[in-house]
Amino acid sequence: MVQIKASRALVRELAQWGIQRVYGIPADSLIDGFSAERQLVDYVQVRHEEVAAVAAAAAGKLTGKIGVAMASVGPGATHLLNGLYDAKMDHTPMLAIVSQVPTTMMGTHYLQDMDENELFASLDTFHAQVSDARQIPGTVREAIEKAYATQSPSIVIIPDDLADQEINYRPVDKRQHVGQPLAGTNDEVTQTRALLEAAKRPLLFVGAGIAQAQEEMVAFATRYQLPVVSTAPAVSLISSDFDHYLGAVGRIGTAPAYEAVQLADLIVMVGTQYPFARFFPEQVKTIQVNNHIADLGNQVAAEQLVLADAATYFKQLNESQPSPKQAGAFLAACQTAKQNWQDYLNRRVERATDSLTAEAVIAGLNTVIDPGAVYGLDVGNNTVWSLRQLRFDQHQRMTMSAWFGTMGYGLAAGIAAKFEYPERQVVTVSGDGGFAMVVQDLLTQVQYRLPVLNVILENGGYGFIQQEKQAVGEGDYGLRFNNANWAGVAQNMGAVGLRATNPTELAAALAQYRTLVAANDLRPVVLEAVISDELPLDTSRMILDTSRYGQAEVQQYRDNQQFDATTYPSLADLLANNF
């Protein structure tokens, strides 16, 4: 036992849990502990607390280990909310350490006095305000335990007069205890197999819950000859070259994935509680496998619910099917549709001549990406283009604000990714709207010499929102804006600024980036790509199947979307005419 300041005990408690860094802006007297114990835990200074919280959430998603953010009283606390809600909605362990006015000033309408407990109550996760300095280590310990147990954020609020007090501190050796993997029962395996045997068009739908089950998933899809679709966060977990994989489902997904869901008669959902599952076609039966009991059945009325870990249940099903099944017409048609979709995307790249399409920028980006790259994707149409065209090989990592959808995520995630994986290439892709929200923290990348490649797809507007409004017949009032010269801004901040408005300039910019990498230049790079003001194809509702829609309606849709039937026949037509 040692007698030290409570702020130092806090830092030592973080170190006991293997926490290597916290992101934040100095939180009153708390920062003194980090200064004194800097050899144990690094303090990463950001320029806005929102970036601290988002970086902590991104670190948690990338590593599975708890990310930590720190903020001062009042405005500092409120600025954490975006990152905290992102962690909550993406089921990520996170800890926020928040300062508070001195205990004698609380509730007296003092400067920045506010009820921080009430502020964080809406998160419905662990939050506690300490009232005695001796409570600090134990409360932090409990907060971390709860964050891991619930895969959600925890908040500890510390009044400013407590952190400087001396306390007796005895470290407690705390390690995460990993329980036995959850397995399905023999009866559940038998029922799943029976449903698969009875289905004519079965489909595997996976989410981020397969992160530790990638090999088992591929073996299962191959053994049972299933086409595979995924949620957006799971895209990087599956090799782009896996011929069963059709891409993500939804507005930011692919056409073959959308069509496969529409035509499937059985969907096996593993590791996801996809919020739009409630809109699955009425005729489809569903099996849901998840290791969080609260996630089972809350999005879809499933034929079968199985509480099990993805890897374990895949293994059980694989072992119950001694020899691979024969490939059926549904899988073959889906694979043809996948190739047709790739041809469509390639044509979008090739049509870029005098100006740039977003597809051409992402295709160019693929030429400079390392096999082990880590991506931070922002929110907006940049996410659509990235998920459709970036090439993933299962060794790369990707993080995004999947269910909270907070703009500005990309740059902040890039900071976290480079700290967590210093030897790996880190690339962020943002729209001009998202980048502008957090551009000040490009200075953080400069300050810590983080050579992140930050790509901006610039079209002068909130394109994702514009597409939503167009779909319901509304105008685009308030959606256009002026831009800075972001390459010039980057240069002024001490980063490298590159700008491209056509394919020739893009090729030159990418060549310059290669030169910087070869020279081990530690400055971050901003590549500002000015793209044509075109919207990506919305794949959340596609009018392609003439058996469901009239011929005239289908043709009008195809004409409006420039989605020709000769180059991309519908999946229904492929099944009817070729397989």
pLDDT single digits (tens) 478-503: 778 789 999 999 999 999 999 999 99
Residues forming CATH 3.40.50.1220 domain(s) in the chain? 186-336
In this predicted structure, the answer to whether residue 144 has a pLDDT above a threshold of 50 is yes
Span between the terminal Cα atoms of the chain, in Å: 74
Confidence of residue 177 (pLDDT cuts 50, 70, 90): very low
Please compute the mean of the pLDDT values over residues 50-72 and round it to a whole number: 97
- The tokens describing 411, both together, are 């740059």
Lowest mean pLDDT among 414-423, 464-473, 550-559: 464-473
Please compute the mean of the pLDDT values over residues 221-242 and round it to a whole number: 95
Question: Pick the residue with more confidence: 65 or 466?
Answer: 65
Q: String of b and e for 184-220 (b: at least 16 CB within 10 Å)?
A: beeebbebbeebbeebebbbbbbbbbbbebbebbbbb
Q: Which fold has domain 2-169?
A: Rossmann fold (3.40.50)
Q: What is the pLDDT of residue 27?
A: 73
Q: What is the pLDDT of residue 579?
A: 60
- The tokens describing 258, both together, are 């959308």
**HSE (CB half, 13 Å, CA atoms) of 52?**
29
Residue 412: exposure state from Cβ atoms within 10 A (0-12, 13-18, ≥19): buried
- 314-330 pLDDT, tens digit per residue, is 999 999 987 888 888 99
Count other Cβ atoms within 10 Å, centred on residue 563.
Answer: 16
The CATH architecture annotation of domain 186-336 reads 3-Layer(aba) Sandwich (3.40)
According to CATH, the superfamily of the domain at 351-530 is Thiamin diphosphate (ThDP)-binding fold, Pyr/PP domains (3.40.50.970)
Cβ neighbours for 445, distance < 8 A, ≥ 6 positions apart: 411, 414, 415, 418, 452, 454, 495, 524
DSSP code string of 290-353: ES-GGGTTSSS--SEEEE--HHHHHHHHHHT--SPPPP-HHHHHHHHHHHHHHHHHHHHHHT-S
Question: Pick the residue with more confidence: 127 or 101?
Answer: 127
In this predicted structure, the answer to whether residue 81 has a pLDDT above a threshold of 80 is yes
**HSE (CB half, 13 Å, CA atoms) of 260?**
34
In this predicted structure, the answer to whether residue 394 has a pLDDT above a threshold of 90 is no
Q: What is the pLDDT of residue 378?
A: 97
Residues forming CATH 3.40.50.970 domain(s) in the chain? 2-169, 351-530
Confidence of residue 417 (pLDDT cuts 50, 70, 90): very high
The H-assigned helical ranges of 351-405 are 358-366, 381-389
- The tokens describing 59, both together, are 């670190």
Q: Is the distance from CB of 271 to CB of 290 less than 8 angstroms?
A: yes
Confidence of residue 147 (pLDDT cuts 50, 70, 90): very high
Q: What residues does 22 pair with on adjacent strands? A: 43
Please compute the mean of the pLDDT values over residues 107-111 and round it to a whole number: 79
Output the CA torsion sign for 406, 123, 112, 135. negative
- 532-557 pLDDT, tens digit per residue, is 888 899 999 999 999 999 899 999 99
The H-assigned helical ranges of 351-460 are 358-366, 381-389, 409-420, 432-438, 442-447
Q: Is the distance from CB of 439 to CB of 412 less than 8 angstroms?
A: no
Tell me the pTM: 0.94
Mean pLDDT of the chain: 92
